[in-house]
Amino acid sequence: MLSLSIIIPVYNVEKYVRACIESIYQQGLDEYRFEVILVNDGTKDKSMEMIADIIQQHKNITVINQENQGLSVARNNGIAIAKGEYILMPDSDDLLVPNSLKPLLEKALETRADMVVADFIKMKDEEIAALKENYPSQRGAFTCRETTGKKMFLHDLGPYECYVWRTLYNRDFLSSNNLHFVSGICYEDIPFTHEAYLKAGKCIRAPWLLNIYRTGRAGAITTGLDIPRVNDWCVAIGKTWELTHIEGLTPEIKHKLLEDLHNDVTTLVYSVLYTIKKPSDRLKVIHMLRHEVPQLNFEHGLKQRMETWLFWHAPMLYIHVRNCIAAWNRFKRRRRQTGR
């Protein structure tokens, strides 16, 4: 059996995909130990042409060609044919830090952990272009700690960092828990990551740089917001809300899960206020969220209870209050920036 399957969806990343693939072959791993599954998600640019020679050079690369169905389906299809004991899912516009993967994989195989979670660094295009050979250095020798998925959920998983690409997943763990990405939506990382953390047993947490996360590029899924993407976000929140019904969650875990959901709903609403101006479209978002999360109810403190009441009984007032808060926050930021 192969030790590792690296699954990379490819869609309109001709400027970045070559560097991504090259970084995989800078990890000091023997090629017979791992496979690379490239899922051509109906890319409309020259992404596949940019890496055609790399595909020819390496016998451990498999290419899946499919019509454009989105990142979720691409990852699911890659997982379906993966043969490795562990699965890594880098984004095609990011990079792996050279020689960072091997110690993480060795620890995964040694412990048979459900998940091995590493660190990452955020960099802009120009910063990555300036790297050349001067990649970020590791902070000392490789170290890690054994923990559980639930403990990492409580202490390590930030509500805004539901990134799947920083983690080695045990393929049997994914299969036995029927863990997959919700098909056809953006923001698929949100429910997937929460469910993985809540269901994982033995885990390894390593303060070890694995990924260089490219930020701010035009055309990325995480930039721009319109009604279809808002709908996807609502679906992701709805799927995450379903996890509150998992049996055996401690009060502490359930509290944290609801706080994550509250943060996500709040971020969604503020994003809508910044990008969608028509009152009717803003109201449409509330109806979308109601449809996807018919049990939505936040009760941690008076403020959350008031928000919930307005959300269900006075949606236009709810939007107005949120808009006033957003305006006040913008005013405070300007005051801080100008020193007045």
* Distance from C-alpha of 263 to C-alpha of 261, rounded to nearest angstrom: 5
Q: What is d(CA 10, CA 78) in angstroms, rounded to the nearest whole number?
A: 12
The string of pLDDT tens digits covering residues 138-178 is 888 999 999 999 999 999 998 888 999 999 999 999 999 99
CA atoms within 13 A on the CB side of 245: 8
Q: Which two tokens stand for residue 19?
A: 């560097």
Average pLDDT over the chain reads 93
The encoded tokens of residue 303 equal 């403020």
What are the residues whose beta carbons fall under 8 Å from the beta carbon of 95, sequence distance 6 or more?
Answer: 19, 20, 23, 128, 211, 212, 214
Is the pLDDT score of 220 beyond 90?
Answer: no
The 8-class DSSP code of residue 247 comes to: T
**Residue 96: alpha-carbon gap to chain centroid:** 16
Residues shown for the chain: 340
- Domains present along the chain, CATH in parentheses: 4-215 (3.90.550.10), 227-338 (no CATH)
pLDDT band at 338 (very low <50, low <70, confident <90, very high): confident
Q: What is the pLDDT of residue 246?
A: 95
Of all helices (H) and strands (E), which one includes residue 61?
A: strand 61-66
Sign of CA dihedral 170, 172, 176, 179: positive
Tell me the C-alpha distance between 252 and 226, whole Å: 35
Residue 180 and residue 182: Cα distance in Å, rounded?
7
HSE on the CB side for 60, CA within 13 Å?
20
CB 159 within 8 A of CB 197: no
Share of the chain above pLDDT 90, in %: 84
Read off φ and ψ for residue 4, nearest 5 degrees: -150, 140
Q: How far apart are CA 209 and CA 83, in angstroms?
A: 25
Alpha-carbon span 106 to 339, nearest angstrom: 51
Q: How confident is the model at residue 222 (pLDDT cuts 50, 70, 90)?
A: very low
Q: What is the pLDDT of residue 255?
A: 97
Q: Say how far apart CA 32 and CA 38 lie, in whole Å.
A: 17
